[in-house]
Amino acid sequence: MATSTRFAVGVHILLAIDALPPGRATSAVIAHSVNTNPVVVRRMFGMLSRAGLMSTRPGAGGARLARPLDRITLLDVWSAAEPATPCALVSIHEHPNKECPVGAHIADVLREATGDAENAFAQRLARVRLSSLAAGIRARAA
């Protein structure tokens, strides 16, 4: 089972928007950086825009951040990119056989076992601002 890359792509997109000169953050330019199709980037633009992290203008002008990188956390991006799984580290089988002694209780015991890890994950993401990632990129690029 593969995990989604939407979170990583979302972070990449926002950092690229910040790094590009005004008016250059188009889906085509960012798709080249992400090494994906512009359609994928436009879908992510929609998710990030709905979350209030960025905005776009049709035609020339491209995308812009809705707020500075120091006011965007990794949790903000996770929530935008993975709305169906808020900090879920473990996918829980949705339809086990309720007549089976294991199937009747597996979801509850898994949630209990992973809940602390998922809370810690969310708390850690909430402490990391995209501005610190941008600083790390600049330091490595120098």
- Residue 92 within any structural domain of the chain: yes
DSSP state for residue 69 in the 8-state scheme: G
- Residue 53 within any structural domain of the chain: yes
At residue 1 the predicted structure's pLDDT band, cuts being 50, 70 and 90, is: very low
The pLDDT tens digits of the residues spanning 27-81 come to 999 999 999 999 999 999 999 999 999 999 876 668 999 999 999 999 999 999 9
Residue 44: alpha-carbon gap to chain centroid: 9
| Residue 27's CATH number | 1.10.10.10
Distance CA(16)–CA(30), nearest Å, equals 7
Distance CA(119)–CA(88), nearest Å, equals 9
DSSP state for residue 3 in the 8-state scheme: P
- Residue 118 within any structural domain of the chain: yes
- In 3D space, the residue among 27, 4, 142, 1 whose CA is nearest the CA of residue 85 turns out to be 4
- Residue 1 within any structural domain of the chain: no
Domain region containing 31: 6-141
- Residue 74 within any structural domain of the chain: yes
Beta strands (DSSP E) in 1-142 are 54-56, 63-65
- Residue 133 within any structural domain of the chain: yes
Give this prediction's pTM: 0.88
- Residue 86 within any structural domain of the chain: yes
Q: Is the pLDDT of residue 92 over 90?
A: no
Output the pLDDT for position 77: 97
Domain count, the chain: 1
